[in-house]
Amino acid sequence: FNQRTAPFGIMYLQTYDGVTVGCESCEELWTPKSSHIDMALNGVDIVGNGSGSHHELRKLHTRLDLVRSATSKCGGVYLYANQRGCDGGRLYFDGCSMIVCNGIVLAQAPQFDVKDVHVITATIDLDDVRSYRASIPSFGIQAAEAYCDDSGASKRRYVSCENDENVTLAERKVTKDGIVPKPSDLMEGGIKLRIHDAEEECCLGPACWLWDFLRRSGATGFFLPLSGGADSSAVCAIVGAMCVMVTKAAQEDPTGEVAKECRRVCRKESDDYHGDDNCLWVPSTPQEMADL
């Protein structure tokens, strides 16, 4: 953008067509005076949050309430991207990234999964954001107060990306197969949220943690002694759930990272590749992965 300097402080990025993008940190979403409030009052259309929120039982409800409340009060698009996996300690970060617009969840990534990355998308008409905010008179009054300082002069809080005159507006549009995507048809009611039962969380969270620890440590399996008591039986069930999830992911993508790690753990690396993707070894059942 031929930019040579950048101001310090909380700033926003404004693109050539007036779309303004801001970002708040993980913890700011949970505080009384969250950054997204000031951003919305200053006209920010899209707020991103790169979060590192670890799993706790029923914590997803709180995240959903916070993100939906942020955009239902202030309007706007909220891009919530959460960390996934085990970082070597006892914490497990359960992902479940979301795209929310005006209080409506348009896209949601799985909460528990053995894959490293999930990409979610949604097509949004930003005029819906502006229309939503304009329908709240009090929001307009507060936005006017936030936009001006005590002397009445405007407070410039964004960094502008100058327009390249050599590139036409039509060339800048993101298209697929030459077709401009339409705004999401789900805007009215959003998607059906995927929320696990408490019992499922107790099983799937530790199962994902076990797989992440197994592959990151370079180990080739677990030794599971069974006493017949409740503790070893619960651990056995969690390991079984891990095998189910890994087997399913490996079968869906035999060339993916999960399948490669599965072959390493099961000592099938010699079967890794012979020029034909259909010949790659993957467990046919969870029992085969567990060597039962």
Going residue by residue through the chain, which has 292 residues, state the pLDDT in tens, using 9 for 90 and above. Answer: 677 776 666 778 888 888 899 999 888 999 998 989 989 988 899 999 999 999 999 999 999 999 999 999 999 999 999 999 987 788 999 999 999 999 999 999 999 999 988 999 999 999 999 999 999 989 888 888 876 665 555 565 666 665 554 444 444 444 445 444 555 444 556 788 889 999 999 999 999 999 999 988 888 888 888 888 899 999 999 999 999 999 999 999 999 999 999 999 998 877 555 555 567 899 999 999 998 7
Regarding pTM above 0.85, the answer is no
Contact 133, 144 (CB under 8 A): no
Tokens at residue 43, please?
A: 């006209």
Contact 143, 129 (CB under 8 A): no
Q: Which of 240, 226, 223 is nearest to 283 (CA)?
A: 240
Whole-angstrom Cα distance, residue 150 to residue 172?
Answer: 39
Q: Are strands 158-160 and 12-14 parallel, antiparallel or unpaired?
A: parallel
Reduce the DSSP state of residue 97 to 3 states and report it: coil
Q: Which of 53, 52, 32, 35 is nearest to 44 (CA)?
A: 35
Sorted by sequence, the CB contacts under 8 Å of residue 37 that are 6+ apart come out as: 70, 74
